[in-house]
Amino acid sequence: MGGPKRVPVRSYGSEVPEPEAGDLTGWIGKRKGIGGDLTSYLLEESLEPQEGVDFPCAGGRIYRARVLESIGGLEGEALAREPSAETALVEEDARWGASRRRGLLFSLPAPHLLGIRDDHYHDREEFCEALSGCYRRILRAMRDAGAGGHVLLGKKVHGEEMEHLAGPRTLFFFPGLSGEDLPVLLEAQGEIAVPRELLPAALDLLDEFEIRHLAVVDGRAEDLSAVLEYLDPGQVSLGGYCTEDCGKYWKALVERAVIPRQTRPPRRDRRSTGSSG
């Protein structure tokens, strides 16, 4: 009979509403001599409620404006010439993050979510390669300034982007992940975050792909127990991406990371996740 077991909680970012004028005025007043802009405010707001989260992550789709500011060669939201990485602002954000939490992760939109129009290359592969190269320089500059790594938010799995950008410290996360995208995702990275409804499909792929780490997004105790039948405790976590009322959301998620006392069944052989025939 085992006691309660707790799994780590991982954040993949947050969606923060635009501030009221009074909120922003008060925030600016507290930052005299420090500076900052709307994105700086939103970053702080995204991180503040993540008390108790083992692996907090600042940002989310709210970081889109900062990424656009950091890409040279744009006219409006169209690429007019060879892109370049202008990293001063993202480095400042990374230093702020490191001062708040050593190794803090940052969440930002993947290239396809920026909505940049190609008015320069007129070739999808060249455009993707150039934009991804610019991203790599931005991410590297942030890591050099203290960021622990990055989460790239995507709407749909783009194999080309993942080929260029997925790595040990850059993880793709898809809030609306579909079952058909799971194999494509696992081709590129062995750490995945899946919504609880896709958990059976993910476990069925254990025999085909090596899953080094699996986070169950918005999971429950029974979901975590199910994963622990196949993976070691160090390979399992509870994931979250906040879309509203983040104070309540993160608090509830941290509370759900504890699996009640129970008799844990023996770990199943991975080959048993599919048919028994």
Side-chain half-sphere of 258: how many Cα atoms within 13 Å? Answer: 9
Is there a domain that residue 275 lies in?
no
Is there a domain that residue 274 lies in?
no
Is there a domain that residue 272 lies in?
no
Q: Which of 259, 218, 184, 167 is nearest to 11 (CA)?
A: 218
d(CA 231, CA 13) in angstroms, rounded, equals 25
CATH number at residue 55: 3.20.20.210
What pLDDT band is residue 270 in, cutting at 50, 70 and 90? low
Is there a domain that residue 172 lies in?
yes
d(CA 157, CA 110) in angstroms, rounded, equals 10
Is there a domain that residue 186 lies in?
yes
Beta 117-118 vs 5-6: how paired, if at all?
Answer: unpaired
What pLDDT band is residue 22 in, cutting at 50, 70 and 90? confident
Residue labelled with tokens 């007129």: 122
Output the pLDDT for position 19.
82
Output the pLDDT for position 275.
37
Is there a domain that residue 208 lies in?
yes
Task: For residue 86, list its beta bridge partners.
Answer: none
Query: Per residue in 68-97, is it b (16+ CB within 10 Å) or e — as a string?
Result: eebbebbeeeebeeebebbbebbbbbbebb
Residue 159 above 70 pLDDT? yes
Mean pLDDT of 232-250: 96
Output the pLDDT for position 196.
94
Output the pLDDT for position 29.
66
How many domains, the chain?
1
Range of the domain at 118: 5-267
The neighbour count for residue 141, using CB atoms within 10 Å, is 18
Mean pLDDT of 185-189: 92
Provide CB contacts within 8 A for 74, sequence distance 6+: 68, 80, 83, 116
Alpha helix (H) residue ranges in 48-85: 64-69
What pTM value is reported for the model?
0.90
Q: Read off the pLDDT of residues 168-185 as tens digits, 9 standing for 90 and up.
A: 999 999 999 999 999 999
d(CA 237, CA 31) in angstroms, rounded, equals 36
Is there a domain that residue 81 lies in?
yes
Output the pLDDT for position 23.
73
The backbone torsions φ and ψ at residue 18, rounded to the nearest 5 degrees and listed phi first, read: -60, 140
Residue 83 above 60 pLDDT? yes
Over the chain, what is the mean pLDDT?
A: 90
What pLDDT band is residue 272 in, cutting at 50, 70 and 90? very low
Is there a domain that residue 277 lies in?
no
Mean pLDDT of 71-100: 96
Mean pLDDT of 226-251: 95
Alpha helix (H) residue ranges in the chain: 21-30, 38-47, 64-69, 88-100, 124-144, 159-165, 182-188, 199-204, 221-227, 246-256
